[in-house]
Amino acid sequence: MNIIGPDALVFGVDDVAACAQYLVDFGLTAVDAGPDGGFFEALDGTGIEIRRRDDPSLPAALPTASMLRQQVYGVVGAADLDAIEAELKRDRRVVRLDSGAIETTDAQGFALKFQVTQRRPLNMPAERINAPGAAPGRAPNELGVQPGMPALPRTLSHQVLFVPDVAAATEFYTKRLGFVVTDVLGGAGPFLRPRANDDHHTLFFIGTPEYMKGCEHLAFHMGGPTELMVAGTRFVKKGYQSFWGPGRHKFGSNWFWYFNSPMGVHVEFDADMDKHDDSWIPRETPLTAEASQMVLFEWRPRWAPAGGPEGATEAEGAVD
Amino acid sequence: MTERAPLCRGTEIAEGEARGFAPWPGARKQVIVLRRGGRLFGWLDSCPHYQGGTPMAWKRDGYLNAARTRLICFSHGAEFDPETGECTLGPCLGKRLRAMPVIEDTDGMVRLTDGSGETPETRTRSEGS
Ligand code: FES
Ligand SMILES: [Fe+2]
C-alpha cells in the first residue's frame, strides 16, 4: 500500500469567510473559493478544503468541538486503492466513488478518503547556507535574505489527532495500512510515516478522553528555517495569534511555529524534518518539555540598538 | 473613579463584540472584554485545556463564533458561555475561564475592578510568579 501522505484535510466550519482569509494570509492559494467554501492549496497542490459546517456533502461531524470532517490520503496508483479497499472492506464499509477514490472511516471514527495523489512534483531548492569548512551553499553575490522574499508553504506535511484509544489507532494505521512507527512520545503517542514517504512523520497521535477527540494541528513544510521565520513573522504582523514557537523539535528535528486558527486547530509552519528508512529503530521517551523541543523562541517586534536609550523599534505597519 | 490604567473606552466595545487588551504593557496574558445585553464581562484570555493556560483568539480580537453567541478557544474549538465562562463543548468540558471583572467607570473608561488586576497569570515573567 503505497500511501504518500495527506493530500488534503477537509473542515466543516462555523465561519467560512474567516477561514478563507486566514488560509490565504497563511500563504495558500484559493481555488474555486466562494461563500460556501473552497480549496486552499500549497505549491504542490496539497491543501485544506473549507466547507460550511452544515454542508450535506460532508462526512458526519465528530461528536466533539472538532471541525475536521475528512482526511484525504494520496496514494501512488490505482492498484494501491484496490489493495486498501480489499483490506478495509473486511470489517467496515468502503465506498468507491466515480472518481475511483474510496471513502471509509478509521478505527476511531475519523472519516478517510484515499485517492491517486494530486500532488504536483516540486522542483525548488532548499534553503542554502554557508558554513566554514563546507562547500558554499550559495554562489558569490547570491543573498540569503531579501525584502519581499517568497516564503510559501510547499506541501501539506502532517496532521496530529487527539484519539481516545492510541493502541487501536496505531494498530489500524500500521497493521491495516502499512504505516511505520518512527518514534514514540510516552504519555502521548507514536509518530507514523506511510510506506511511500520517508518523512519522519505524516501522522502523530495524542491520547485524550473521548470528548476531546479531534485534531491538534496540521502542518505545512517550508523551504527552510528562514522561510519559516519570515512567513511566521509576516503572519504575526497580520494580527494572527502565535501559539508556540518558533522552535525546533527533537523527534523529527523539524523547525516549528504554531498558530491558532478559525478551523479550531493549530496550523504549523514546519521545516527541515528528518527522513528515515526501514533500518531506523524507533526511540521512545516520555513526553516532557525537554523531550519535545531542542530550542524554543518567542516572537517580539523588531528592534535595533540605535536611536537613543530605548533603541529603535519597528515602525507601525512595517512589512518585508 | 480609580487610579488604575483603563483597558479601553466603553464605547470601543460594541454590543455583541469582544476585544482583547493587555492589562498593562508587557503583560503575559490579555483580558477579554465583551458586551452582552449592555453588560460588560471580562475573562482572562487563557484557555484551561492545556496546563498553564494558552491564548484563545485566532487573530487580534478574534474570540467569538460567527453568530457572536459563544467565546471560542481557537486552538481546538472549545466553546465557552460568554456570561459564565463555563466550557460547554470541547476539550475543557467541566472547566471555566478565569473571571476578570470589569466596570465601565464614571469617566466612561473600562477598568478591572479588583486590586490592580494583577494575577499570577498576567504578571510578566521578569517580575517572577
Ligand atoms: S487549548 Fe483551548 S481548546 Fe485546546
Ligand atoms: Fe507538527
Please list, residue by residue across A11-49, b when 16 or more beta carbons sit within 10 angstroms of its beta carbon and e when fewer do.
bbbbbbebbbebbeebbbbbeebeeebbbbbbbbbbbbb
Based on DSSP, count helices (H) and strands (E) in chain B, helices before strands: 0, 9
Q: Are B59 and A241 in contact (CB under 8 A)?
A: yes
The domain limits of chain A are: 3-120+152-296
The A residues from 145 to 174 touching B (CB cutoff 8 Å) are 162
List of chain A residues whose C-beta atoms are within 8 Å of the C-beta of residue B78:
65
Question: Which tens digits make up the pLDDT trace of B17-63?
Answer: 999 999 988 899 999 999 999 999 999 999 999 999 999 999 999 99
**Ligand 2 centroid, distance to A201 Cα (angstroms):** 9
Distance CA A298, CA A169 (A): 34
What is the pTM assigned to this prediction?
0.94
Euclidean distance between CA atoms B73 and B58, whole angstroms: 8
In a domain, B49, yes or no: yes
Of B75, B79, B93, the CB nearest to A211: B93
> Is B1 contained in some domain?
no
Q: Is residue B72 part of a domain?
A: yes
Residue B3 belongs to a domain: no
What separation in angstroms does the CA of A241 have from each of A246, B21, B75? 13, 14, 10
Domain containing residue B70: CATH number: 2.102.10.10
Contact, B56 vs B45, CB < 8 A?
A: yes
Task: Say which residue the cell 502532517 belongs to.
Answer: A158
Residue position matching grid coordinates 489527532: A161
Is B3 a residue whose pLDDT tops 90?
no
Per DSSP, what are the bridge partners of residue A104? A112
The pLDDT profile of chain A, 320 residues, written as one tens digit per residue, is: 999 999 999 999 999 999 999 999 999 999 999 999 999 999 999 999 999 999 999 999 999 999 999 999 999 999 999 999 999 999 999 999 999 999 999 999 999 999 999 999 999 999 999 999 999 999 999 999 999 999 999 999 999 999 999 999 999 999 999 999 999 999 999 999 999 999 999 999 999 999 999 999 999 999 999 999 999 999 999 999 999 999 999 999 999 999 999 999 999 999 999 999 999 999 999 999 999 999 999 999 888 888 777 888 888 888 88
Nearest CA in chain B to A25: B59
From the CB of B87, is ligand 1 less than 6 Å away?
no
Domain count, chain B: 1
Distance from CA of B100 to the nearest CA of A (A): 21
d(CA B71, CA B4): 26
What is the per-residue pLDDT for B103?
A: 94
pLDDT(B108) > 60 = yes
**The dihedral formed by the CA atoms of A180, A287, A284 and A272, expressed in degrees to the nearest 10:** 60
Given a cut of 70, whether residue B127 has pLDDT beyond it is no
Chain B residues close to A240, C-beta within 8 Å: 58-59
**CATH entry 3.10.180.10 includes domain A3-120+152-296:** yes
pLDDT value for A320 = 84
Name the more confident of A221 and B115: A221
Task: List the domain range (segments joined by +) for residue B43.
Answer: 8-128
Instruction: Report chain A residues whose CB lies below 8 A from the CB of B89.
Output: 64-65
Q: How confident is the model at residue B124 (pLDDT cuts 50, 70, 90)?
A: very low
B2 lines ligand 1 (CB under 6 A): no
Phi/psi of residue A233, each to 5°?
-65, -45
Is the residue at B112 inside a domain? yes
Residue B118 domain flag: yes
CA-to-CA separations, A278 to A35, A125, A275, B124, in angstroms, rounded: 46, 26, 11, 47
The interface predicted TM-score of the complex, written ipTM, equals 0.94
Q: Measured in angstroms, how far is the CA atom of residue A267 from the centroid of ligand 1?
A: 13
For residues B65 and A13, give the distance between their C-alpha atoms in angstroms, rounded to a whole number: 10
Nearest ligand to residue A270 Cα? 2
- Our answer on whether the CB atom of B9 is closer than 6 Å to any ligand 1 atom is no
Place B126 in a pLDDT band, splitting at 50, 70 and 90.
very low
pLDDT of residue A306: 83
The whole-number pLDDT of residue B129 equals: 31
Residue B5 has a pLDDT of 82
Calculate how close chain A gets to B34, using CA atoms only, in Å.
19
B83 occurs within a structural domain: yes
What count of CB pairs under 8 Å joins A to B? 72
In the block, which residue shows the cell 516532557? A288
> Cβ contact (<8 Å) for B60 and A243?
no
A52, A12 in Cβ contact below 8 A?
yes
